[in-house]
Copies of this chain bind each other. A is one copy, B any other.
Amino acid sequence: MEGVPGHAPSRTEPGARVSFDALCQRAWWANQELLRAGLVSLTFGNASAIDRAAGVLAIKPSGVPAAELRVEDIVVVSIASGEVVAGRARPSSDTPSHLVLARAFPAIGGIVHTHSRAATAWAQAHRPIPCLGTSHADHFRGAVPVTRPLTAAEIGADYEAATGRVIVETFEDLDPGDVPAVLVRDHGAFTWGPDPESAVANAVALELVAGIAIDTLALGGPGGPIADELLARHHGRKHGPRATYGQGPTA
């Protein structure tokens, strides 16, 4: 794929560097979709797509508004070293957070970061989003947690990597496949999934349930989260070995 600035030639050319065109396309689509879904504005927010076989992650460049983003602006970074392996732009300043998550959560294939309004309000209020309904249970098996405050030392040193580490710490006793979202205290939200498309869908779902939960509490709310049976039933319809939702492998 010579001629596409910032991208290596395709795999079919022997001896050449690997092509990341398809991966960059998916990362570009995910960043655009966040914009269309109203989850990002200005330069807030970014999405990455992971290629486990190649050991890389394709991510939005720093400071480029999503509306102006081109596929060839996407940057490919080594998950192990954090070095840029393809692309001319400087990667998102949040790249170290993405890398920590990509290393710690081996089953995920895409990561999204937003400052979407309702989810960020919960993050700023230092409150986990309780599971108040089946819209929540369909995507997140229980409350979406909030990270602990970063220390001054963590902020002063490698802040973005520390943000990733504090997320991983929050999931010490929690399966990131069960709850593919977190609120970073005073900051915003991260979501993920087995691929970039599901990471985006989880970001959309998070904003929706965060907003419904704000209105639920304004109406006097329930005393606590929904019944365990209802949570398990809804989550189980869509996830895990007994999932019945969607068109299945043969559809």
Contact = CB atoms under 8 A, between A and B. Distances in A.
A251 B42 contact: no
Contacts of A233: 155-156, 159
A239 to B, nearest CB: 12
A168 to B, nearest CB: 19
Given A188-B134, A204-B42, A229-B155, A215 B117 contact: yes
A112 B224 CA distance: 28
Contacts of A63: 245-247
Interface string A73-116: 00000000000000011100100000000000000000000010
Given A90-B251, A121-B216, A188 B135 contact: yes
A156 B90 CA distance: 52
Interface in A194-246: 201, 204-205, 208, 211-222, 226-227, 229-230, 233, 237, 244-246
A236 to B, nearest CB: 10
Given A124-B212, A124-B213, A186-B222, 9 more contacts: A88-B251, A117-B215, A122-B219, A124-B132, A125-B216, A133-B187, A134-B186, A134-B187, A155-B229
Interface of A: 37, 41-44, 61-64, 88-90, 93, 115, 117-118, 120-127, 132-135, 138, 149-150, 152, 155-156, 159, 186-188, 201, 204-205, 208, 211-222, 226-227, 229-230, 233, 237, 244-248, 251
